Every structure is written in structure tokens, then in C-alpha cells.
């Protein structure tokens, strides 16, 4: 690690003089729009998005998986990868675990993992439960199955197992120093008439209530909606309205989590964000991008303008700063090196944040007040079209990270190094 740090510094030195002149120019440009470039850098440097433990390995589709080699063999090695990522970006200071894909066990197991992460400067963000697959540790050793749903199931024994799994995930999170649990349910049905919409909703609401009863006072719980998949006719928590009903019906510290891929085509996600923030129920984010559905593609790679608008709404909600929320990258890496993709995703988030911070919000408000749609567009686009990359690079440098994280990752030779250590055929567990 110390060696990686000095290699990052060496790589930064190579780029420093170009960076300094680019930065001076960028500060000049944004200053002319009445934006304080220093404040942009400070806010970008403050921002962090959790890395998901399941995304440091290759994902796959239902047609196949093509592992890249050198993938982490256990949760400890996943945290090593996240630490490497964070040392390059300075903006992935936490990891989000998916249980049971990553389950260190209570007691000594959790304590050991927490110690390992702390030594690398990594904390634990929201915990994720999994009742969408059958796994001996979540199904009472195979006595129940989630084939027909978990909390929504008509069978009380299945619902009980799902609630107990969530309680376990919370207990684990307490020992790891987490502060939230995200409940994404695959519950729903494929065939009209197969189940009752109302019955399923009511059972899920009751189950969430039992999970919430186990949530510590200084924790939050998040409900994550998704319109379809794996249920293709009806998902119980299918949209933000249902997610809000579930959150409001469960308790004060239950909030909605917005996964950018979990909306029907053309949904105005920035408006959804504004609404949820307005009622104090915006709890978390899963960042990714998509063309068609829950594609889990690289953040900002398909609809960067939408990402910029969403972050603009977040800044509005936070009074010019990113509001406190559980920010996480939720992607699946099928073709790229997972760490390279996470580097690009984090960079895209930082760029969109800097662009949104470069919008002169007072000017925008004036244009809105004057019903001047053309001027409003000018103000917005001046922010979006600013080349903020030097400001973002400077934010990274001030966090002790890399000016150019992807080039530095390659120059350091991290992947060849771990491939030699872990094996060319090592495949990460989980998704």
C-alpha cells in the first residue's frame, strides 16, 4: 500500500505541470460565470461513493460470464481491491456488502474484516440483504424457498426466514460499523391472477415493519424499487410511489433508494429525486447507467446529461452541497476490468458533480422567475459544457489520490500483480 502511494505520487509528478496550467485556466473560466472554483474543488473532494463488494469481480449475463483473471478470492481481497480503487480516486472510502455473497460471520469474523478494512482506510456503507436466491444460510438450511417470493410469500415460514435473514444482516452491519440496510426484493409474479397485488403489498409492509423493529436508533433502512426483473408481470415494490408508501408506512427512518437503472424508459428520474427529497425520504442512490433496463452499465456512459440534472436536484436538496445519503455504485462489469470500470464510474460521478456545481443557481432562479426558458437553458448548459476535469483532478490530488486514475492504475501494474498472486483463473464469488 505504501508502495502504491509512492507510485501514485510519481505518476502525479509526471503530470503536474500540465495539470497546473489546465487548473488555472479552468478556475478562470468558471470564475467568469460567477462560480467559485475553489468551492467546487472542495465539494468534489468531500464526495464519496461506496463500492459494492460484488462489483470488483466480473458480472455476467444469463448467457455467460467471462472472468478476467486475478479476481478477488474472498471478502478480504475484495476490500484490498476497494482500497486500491480508493487510493486512485480518493472517492470510494466505503464498501457495501451483499450478504450472503460476502458474509464474514458474527463475532471474530466480522471483527477481523472490520480491522482489515480499517487498516486500509475503508469503512462499511449500507448492508444489502439477499432473499432473491436460495442459499442454505438464508433459507433455514433449505427448509424454505424464495421461489414464490420472500416477504410477500403466502407461506408464513418463508416470510419468517426472510425477516430473520434481514435481522442477521443488520446484526452483522452493527459489528462492522455500518449504519443502514438496503432491502431490495425480487418479490412479485409473472402471471396475471397468480397472486393478489394487495395481499403481496400488505405482507411486504408487515415484513418491513418486523425488519425495522430490529434497526438501531442511529441507523436508516432503505427500500429499493425496480419495475420488473426477475418478476415480469408485477413487482411488489415497482416504482418510487410504492417505495414511498412502503417507507412511510414502515417508519421515520425508512427512506427510498433510487437505483438509476430501475425506472421504465423515459422516466424523469430527476423529478423523482426532487419529490423524494422534498418529503425527506430520499435515502440512497445506486449509480449506474442504462439504455434499456437495469443494464448496470458504467455511470454517465449513456445519459451524462441526465446524471448532471439528477445531481443538480441533489445539490438543490442539500443547499448547494451533496445531501447526506448512502451513495453507491451498482454496476455489473462484463467486458471491462472491474476496477477500471469503477474508476471510470467514480470519475463520471465527480465530473457530473463538478458540472452541476458550475451552474450558477442564483442566475438559474432569476431566469425561472422571469419565465425566461432560453436563459435558463444557457445557464444550465454553461455548467454542463464546462470542462471541469482539471477541477476534478485537483480534488483527487488534494485527497492524496491520482490526477489520472486509469492511466495510473495501468502504470502501477495492479492487475498483473494480483493476477500473479491470485491466479489467472480466480473468479470472484457473488454475482
* Interaction site with Mn ion (CB under 5 A): 259, 286, 294, 330
Of residues 81 and 259, the one with the C-beta less far from Mn ion: 259
Euclidean distance between CA atoms 173 and 162, whole angstroms = 17
Site for ligand RM4 in 252-271 (CB under 6 A): 259
Is 143 exposed, middle or buried, given 0-12, 13-18 or 19+ CB atoms closer than 10 A?
Answer: exposed
- Partner whose binding site includes residue 128, from Mn ion, ligand RM4, none (CB under 5 to 8 Å by kind): ligand RM4
Q: How far is the CB of 288 from Mn ion (least distance, A)?
A: 7
- Partner whose binding site includes residue 431, from Mn ion, ligand RM4, none (CB under 5 to 8 Å by kind): ligand RM4
Of residues 231 and 391, the one with the C-beta less far from Mn ion: 231
Single out the residue of 408, 256, 295 nearest to residue 347, CA to CA.
408
Q: Angle 422-431-197 (CA atoms, 0-180°, nearest 5)?
A: 170
Of residues 286 and 382, the one with the C-beta less far from Mn ion: 286
The site that binds ligand RM4 (CB under 6 A) totals a number of residues, namely 10
Beta strands in 260-398 (DSSP E): 282-287, 326-329
- Partner whose binding site includes residue 363, from ligand RM4, Mn ion, none (CB under 5 to 8 Å by kind): none
Of residues 346 and 408, the one with the C-beta less far from ligand RM4: 346
Q: How far is the CB of 52 from Mn ion (least distance, A)?
A: 8
Of residues 189 and 222, the one with the C-beta less far from ligand RM4: 222
Of residues 316 and 331, the one with the C-beta less far from Mn ion: 331
Of residues 76 and 228, the one with the C-beta less far from ligand RM4: 228
Of residues 30 and 127, the one with the C-beta less far from ligand RM4: 127
And the C-alpha cell for 109? 469474523
Q: How far is the CB of 278 from ligand RM4 (least distance, A)?
A: 24
Euclidean distance between CA atoms 378 and 10, whole angstroms = 40
Is there binding between residue 330 and ligand RM4 (CB under 6 A)? Answer: yes
And the C-alpha cell for 279? 418529503
Site for ligand RM4 in 174-193 (CB under 6 A): 184
Is there binding between residue 431 and ligand RM4 (CB under 6 A)? Answer: yes
Of residues 259 and 404, the one with the C-beta less far from Mn ion: 259
Q: Which residue number places its CB atom closest to ligand RM4?
A: 184
Identified binder of ligand RM4 from the candidate list 224, 337, 341, 347, rule CB under 6 A: 224
Q: How far is the CB of 186 from ligand RM4 (least distance, A)?
A: 8
Q: How far is the CB of 262 from Mn ion (least distance, A)?
A: 6
With beta carbons less than 8 A apart as the criterion, state whether 124 and 177 touch: yes
What's 289's DSSP letter? Answer: B
Q: How far is the CB of 130 from ligand RM4 (least distance, A)?
A: 7
Q: How far is the CB of 132 from ligand RM4 (least distance, A)?
A: 7
With beta carbons less than 8 A apart as the criterion, state whether 404 and 396 touch: no
Beta strands in 216-321 (DSSP E): 220-224, 234-235, 254-259, 282-287
Single out the residue of 155, 230, 128, 144 nearest to residue 188, CA to CA.
230
Pairing between β-strand 51-52 and β-strand 326-329 as defined by DSSP bridges: unpaired
Euclidean distance between CA atoms 290 and 408, whole angstroms = 27
- Partner whose binding site includes residue 340, from ligand RM4, Mn ion, none (CB under 5 to 8 Å by kind): none
Q: At what angle do helices 108-119 and 156-176 cross, to 10 degrees?
A: 50
Of residues 82 and 357, the one with the C-beta less far from ligand RM4: 82
DSSP string, 387-420: --HHHHHHHHHHTT--SSHHHHHHHHTHHHHHHH
Identified binder of ligand RM4 from the candidate list 214, 286, 415, 422, rule CB under 6 A: 286
Q: How far is the CB of 330 from ligand RM4 (least distance, A)?
A: 5
Residue 202 has, within 13 A of its CA and on its CB side, a CA count of 6
Q: How far is the CB of 298 from ligand RM4 (least distance, A)?
A: 15
Q: How far is the CB of 128 from ligand RM4 (least distance, A)?
A: 5
Euclidean distance between CA atoms 384 and 430, whole angstroms = 37
Beta bridge partners of 94: 123
What would the x/- binding string for ligand RM4 be over residues 113 to 142, using CB under 6 A?
---------------x--------------
Which secondary structure element, helix H or strand E, spans residue 180, and what is its range? strand 180-184
With beta carbons less than 8 A apart as the criterion, state whether 72 and 28 touch: no
- Which stretches within 54-99 are classed as H helix? 75-89
Euclidean distance between CA atoms 64 and 3, whole angstroms = 37
Contacting positions for ligand RM4 (CB under 6 A): 98, 128, 184, 224, 226, 259, 286, 294, 330, 431
Amino acid at each position: 500500500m505504501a508502495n502504491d502511494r509512492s507510485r501514485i505520487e510519481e505518476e502525479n509528478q509526471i503530470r503536474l505541470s500540465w495539470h497546473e496550467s489546465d487548473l488555472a485556466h479552468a478556475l478562470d473560466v468558471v470564475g467568469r460565470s460567477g462560480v467559485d472554483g475553489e468551492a467546487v474543488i472542495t465539494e468534489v473532494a468531500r464526495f464519496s461513493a461506496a463500492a459494492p463488494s460484488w462489483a470488483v469481480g466480473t458480472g455476467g449475463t444469463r448467457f455467460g460470464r467471462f472472468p478476467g483473471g486475478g479476481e478477488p478470492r474472498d471478502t478480504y481481497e475484495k476490500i484490498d481491491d476497494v482500497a486500491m480503487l480508493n487510493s486512485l480516486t480518493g472517492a470510494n472510502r466505503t464498501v457495501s456488502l451483499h450478504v450472503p455473497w460476502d458474509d464474514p460471520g458474527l463475532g471474530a469474523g466480522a471483527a477481523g474484516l472490520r480491522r482489515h478494512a480499517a487498516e486500509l482506510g475503508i469503512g462499511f456503507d449500507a448492508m444489502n440483504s439477499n432473499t432473491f436466491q436460495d442459499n442454505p444460510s438464508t433459507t433455514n438450511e433449505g427448509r424454505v424457498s424464495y421461489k414464490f417470493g420472500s416477504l410477500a410469500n403466502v407461506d408464513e415460514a418463508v416470510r419468517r426466514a426472510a425477516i430473520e435473514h434481514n435481522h442477521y444482516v443488520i446484526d452483522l452491519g452493527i459489528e462492522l460499523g455500518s449504519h443502514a440496510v438496503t432491502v431490495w426484493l425480487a418479490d412479485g409474479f409473472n402471471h396475471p391472477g397468480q397472486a393478489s397485488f394487495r395481499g403481496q403489498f400488505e405482507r411486504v409492509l408487515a415484513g418491513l415493519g418486523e425488519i425495522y423493529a430490529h434497526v438501531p436508533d442511529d441507523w436508516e433502512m432503505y427500500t429499493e424499487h425496480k419495475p420488473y426483473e426477475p418478476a415480469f408481470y408485477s413487482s411488489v415494490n415497482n416504482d418510487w410511489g410504492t417505495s414511498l408508501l412502503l417507507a412511510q408506512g414502515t417508519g421515520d427512518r425508512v427512506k427510498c433508494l433510487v437505483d438509476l437503472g430501475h425506472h421504465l424508459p423515459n422516466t424523469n428520474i430527476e423529478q423523482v429525486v426532487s419529490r423524494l427529497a422534498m418529503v425527506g425520504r430520499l435515502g440512497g442512490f445506486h449509480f449506474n447507467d442504462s439504455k434499456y433496463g437495469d443494464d448496470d452499465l458504467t455511470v454517465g456512459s449513456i445519459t451524462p446529461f441526465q446524471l448532471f440534472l439528477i445531481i443538480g436536484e441533489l445539490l438543490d436538496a442539500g443547499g448547494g452541497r451533496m445531501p447526506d445519503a448512502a451513495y453507491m455504485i451498482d454496476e455489473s462489469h462484463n467486458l471491462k476490468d472491474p476496477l477500471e470500470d469503477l474508476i471510470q464510474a467514480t470519475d463520471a460521478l465527480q465530473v457530473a458533480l463538478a458540472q452541476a456545481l458550475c451552474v450558477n443557481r442564483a442566475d438559474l432562479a432569476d431566469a425561472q422567475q422571469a419565465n425566461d426558458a432560453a436563459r435558463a437553458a444557457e445557464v444550465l448548459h454553461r455548467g454542463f459544457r464546462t470542462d471541469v476535469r482539471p477541477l476534478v483532478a485537483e480534488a483527487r490530488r488534494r485527497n492524496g489520490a491520482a490526477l489520472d486514475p486509469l492511466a495510473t492504475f495501468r502504470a502501477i501494474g495492479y492487475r498483473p500483480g494480483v493476477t500473479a498472486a491470485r491466479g489467472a483463473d480466480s473468479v470472484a464469488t457473488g454475482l
